[in-house]
Amino acid sequence: MKILRLTSIIILACTVLACEKGEDFESNEFTGNEESYTLFSGSDWGFYGEVTFKEKKDGMAQVIVHLENTEGPLEFPVHLHNDSYDIEADLIALLSPLKASNGISISESVIKADETAFTYKELIDFDGHIKIHLDEEANKDVILAYGNIGANQSKPIDQGMAACSSELKN
């Protein structure tokens, strides 16, 4: 009985220590610098949320998109375009699809058409915007949510939204 109790205590201690090391590893990946931008509803679906750029210690960026009011099994394409959302702008990068089941997209890096990655600094200075589309096919012009980022973050949002170019550009 004492051996069973001692074994249980050792297993519990090892589990706690392993969890703590995992948390330390995750928090050590980032510098603590991050920027967030509002995403506005682009359709009657009523989705809205935010995109957050988190700086990694290697200077790269993790991008987290979170939308409210999503549900179900669908995945929605997330695009990074240049210029403001009210201009028909080039598609610069494809981000990880947003899962409707939890409303989240996490991109560990943002790869441009020339296959180089955006740094955190480049993203927060970028003259661009994010759009979340209904799909990549017949409904690609249905914008579920959108928002200016970087150099465009303070641009007014009372202008119309432009269609998207679906061709990846450098």
| Number of domains comprising the chain | 1
One-letter amino acid of 129 = H
Residue at 69 is within a domain:
yes
Residues ≥6 apart with Cβ < 8 Å to 127? 82, 83, 150, 151, 152
3-state secondary structure of 36: strand
Mean of pLDDT values over 4-17: 48
Give the pLDDT of residue 40: 93
Average pLDDT estimate for 131-150: 92
Q: Residue 20: how many CB atoms within 10 A of its CB?
A: 10
Written as six digits, the tokens of 148 are 């200016």
Residue 49 lies in a domain: yes
Q: pLDDT tens digits for 94-138?
A: 999 999 999 999 999 999 988 999 999 999 999 999 999 999 888
* Averaged pLDDT score across all residues of the chain: 83
CATH code assigned at 83: 2.60.40.200
- 10 within a domain of the structure (yes/no): no
Boundaries of domain holding 136: 31-150
DSSP 157: S
State residue 11's pLDDT score. Answer: 53
Q: Tell whether pTM > 0.85.
A: no
DSSP output for 68-103: ES--SS-EEEEEEEES-TTS---EEEEEEEEETTTT
Q: Does the residue 156 lie in any domain? A: no
- Please give the Cα distance from 167 to 153 (Å, whole number): 24
